[in-house]
Amino acid sequence: MSAPPDASPRPIIIDTDPGQDDAIAILAALAAPELAVLGITAVAGNVPLELTARNACILVELAGRPEVPVFAGCDRPLRRDLVTAEHVHGKTGIDGAELPEPVTAPQPRHAVEWMTETVLAAGEREITICPLGPMTNVATMLEAAPEAARNIREIVCMGGGFFGGGNTTPVAEFNVFVDPDAAQIVLHCGAPVTMLPQDVTHKALMTDAWINRVRGLGTRTGVAAAGMLEFYERYDVDKYGTTGGPLHDPNVIAYLLRPDLYEGRHCNVEVETDSPLTLGMTVVDWWGVTDRPSNCHYITDVDSNGFYNLLYTLLARLP
């Protein structure tokens, strides 16, 4: 996990709709010395924007990092009505933990304005963007300032699903389903894109033992994280009949820190943006049966133990 001794931390922007799994991803990123979280941009997704921005403020405070700025971004998808997922995440988005009202508030600037300025001011291939929700903020930036792509080192997102169908419709995963137009823009922006779809996140299911280990840290973060995760996994355990649920978004942070835990393939991925039947489907040309150029590093495998050990180590560093 450790970066070479003289390497400076990798600058990242977390674009997110917390969400309990977003919460764990944010906490993990804030705990990693190899990453410099420049800011957290909130987007509407799991719950409306007002709540996702508020939740991001709660999380930076929980991690003891209130200086990390939070920006509120787009309150609806590019070209459609917002679909939310309170049935999964609860009314607040991060139900399951007793957390104090945030003292900090989102910054006054719009997230897309801040993200655009930050990326344009950076050097070539400098900034990594980590979308953990619908990609509306990132796509809005790329539509207005396509030249921003050259300063993006990589976009590492949680989204999509192909081999195992979808979790929101038979073929569409939630983040891509909510804003398929945004996902398609991101996939075609010209910057390297790595996608951690539900095909991989479903290969690393939580266990009660792991959640109990996290609670057993005895820290405020450990106790809050365990409470959120128990609440969060109940929906998937019931839906899939498994003993544990997937922990989607932290895979993005784990991939940044330990890409060796993951395997995938560079191939073409397109998003269906028209058909009412298959809207939001990520069509993955895994076998190269078209001549469409590769635009995505599509991840399908993970070392589950390695992933959960890494996450535990990170959470253990927080207050």
Please state, in angstroms and rounded to a whole number, the distance separating the CA atoms of residues 277 and 136.
22
Q: Which stretch binds Ca ion (CB under 5 A): 92-100, 126-134, 193-201, 307-315?
A: 126-134
Q: Does 77 contact ligand BDR by CB under 6 A?
A: no
Please state, in angstroms and rounded to a whole number, the distance separating the CA atoms of residues 216 and 265.
37
Q: Which stretch binds ligand BDR (CB under 6 A): 17-25, 113-121, 140-148, 291-299?
A: 17-25
Per-residue contact flags (x/-) with ligand BDR for residues 120 to 139, judged by CB under 6 A: ------------xx------
- Enumerate residues 6+ apart whose C-beta is below 8 A from 207: 243, 244, 308
Number of residues this chain uses to bind ligand BDR (CB under 6 A): 16
Q: Does 15 contact Ca ion by CB under 5 A?
A: no
Q: How far is the CB of 288 from ligand BDR (least distance, A)?
A: 26
Q: What does each C-alpha distance from 142 to 77, 113, 118, 139 come to in angstroms? A: 14, 11, 13, 5
Residue 181 interacting entry, from Ca ion, ligand BDR, none, C-beta within 5 to 8 Å by type: none
Q: Does 202 contact ligand BDR by CB under 6 A?
A: no
Q: How far is the CB of 298 from ligand BDR (least distance, A)?
A: 15
Q: Which stretch binds ligand BDR (CB under 6 A): 34-42, 97-105, 168-176, 236-244?
A: 168-176
Please state, in angstroms and rounded to a whole number, the distance separating the CA atoms of residues 32 and 34.
5
Q: Does 85 contact ligand BDR by CB under 6 A?
A: yes
At 198, the amino acid letter reads Q
| 264: nearest Cα among 284, 293, 292, 289 | 284
Structure tokens given for 192: 């390297």
Per-residue contact flags (x/-) with Ca ion for residues 244 to 263, judged by CB under 5 A: -----x--------------
Helices and strands in the chain, H and E counts? 12, 10
Q: Which stretch binds Ca ion (CB under 5 A): 72-80, 107-115, 132-140, 180-188?
A: 132-140
- Catalytic residue among 89, 188, 202, 248, which? 248
Q: Does residue 158 contact residue 149 with C-beta atoms inside 8 Å?
A: no
| 309: nearest Cα among 263, 223, 250 | 250
Please state, in angstroms and rounded to a whole number, the distance separating the CA atoms of residues 137 and 143.
10
Residue 194 interacting entry, from ligand BDR, Ca ion, none, C-beta within 5 to 8 Å by type: none
Q: How far is the CB of 110 from ligand BDR (least distance, A)?
A: 22
Please state, in angstroms and rounded to a whole number, the distance separating the CA atoms of residues 272 and 280.
5
Q: Which of 39, 69, 106, 133 binds Ca ion (CB under 5 A)?
A: 133
Q: Which of 158, 193, 225, 281 binds ligand BDR (CB under 6 A)?
A: 158
Q: Does 22 contact Ca ion by CB under 5 A?
A: yes
Structure tokens given for 194: 């790595």
Q: Does 282 contact ligand BDR by CB under 6 A?
A: no
Token pair 């498994």 is found at 242
Query: Which run of H or of E encompasses 302?
Result: strand 296-302
Please state, in angstroms and rounded to a whole number, the distance separating the CA atoms of residues 91 and 95.
7
Which sign does the torsion angle of CA 55, 58, 64, 67 carry? positive
Q: Does 167 contact ligand BDR by CB under 6 A?
A: yes
Residue 297 falls in the annotated catalytic set: no
Binding site for ligand BDR (CB under 6 A): 19, 21-22, 46, 85, 88, 132-133, 158, 167, 173-175, 198, 248-249
Report, as residue numbers or ranges, the catalytic residues. 248
Binding site for Ca ion (CB under 5 A): 17, 19, 22, 132-133, 249
